[in-house]
Amino acid sequence: MRIDVLSLFPEFVAQCAGFGVVGRAQERGLLSLHGWNPRDYAAGNYRRVDDRPFGGGPGMVMMIEPLQACLDAARLADAMPAPVIYLSPQGRPLTQAKVRGLAGLPRLILLCGRYEGVDERFVEAEIDEEISIGDYVLSGGELPAAVLIDAVVRLQEGVLNDAESAAQDSFEAGPDGQALLDCPHYTQPASHALGEVPAVLRSGDHAAIARWRRQQALGRTWLRRPELLDEAALSKADRALLEAFKAENRQGGS
């Protein structure tokens, strides 16, 4: 997969993507990441990329011309078609379903805004999708771009090792891919001042362990993110596990 990032701080995005799973994907040749700086395409000695907003008010707006030249150069660098995605609080929320869709594409072009944002005429003319990673305002789209890159790259074939892939599979619940929250995890020591590891996890009964983990995932989703269960197509066995969890929880848990 190829990802082109347009940003006034392209090296910042490159650094975010340089370590861990995404860094490894680059080393394995499964991701090629390219940074493009609109300032390199700005005219004049001052290389201006921003100007004051029409209508007045505080802050600055990113100008069309340097962005257009920068985007044209990025597009021309490869014949592969790509949607241009603008990371902004005005975008549609990023979901795992959206991530899966984007992960299936051969190429993405990401635009990171700074200041108060990008001239709306450029957004209307060149942006295919506006995406938000959550309802908060940051100082720019670079961190959201790094988030999107991480989420998309870890779904590429060959990026995760076997253990990481298996762990990921367990988060993807039904046939619709509706995610549940994860179950709790424990490691050594089994006995600690902070508490005991649940006995079932030490029982060696793999079917009982799988059942307990599934029940915990369902129960925590019900407690913390009940709206996720509305969309999940639960099997009869799942509904029984959840009812048992609810019954225990009403009595104050165990």
What's phi and psi for 191, nearest 5 deg?
A: -120, 130
By CB under 6 A, residue 88 contacts ligand 9WO: yes
Residue with tokens 């993110």: 225
Nearer to ligand 9WO, 35 or 219 (CB): 35
By CB under 6 A, residue 53 contacts ligand 9WO: no
By CB under 6 A, residue 133 contacts ligand 9WO: yes
Given a contact cutoff of 8 angstroms between Cβ atoms, the answer to whether 18 and 26 are in contact is: yes
By CB under 6 A, residue 113 contacts ligand 9WO: yes
The interface with ligand 9WO within residues 167-206 (CB under 6 A) comprises none
Nearer to ligand 9WO, 51 or 196 (CB): 51
By CB under 6 A, residue 10 contacts ligand 9WO: no
Q: Catalytic positions, please? A: 89, 116, 154, 169
Shortest Å, Cβ 135 to ligand 9WO: 8
CA distance 111 to 123: 10
Positions touching ligand 9WO (CB under 6 A) are: 87-89, 113, 116-117, 132-134, 137-138, 140-141, 144
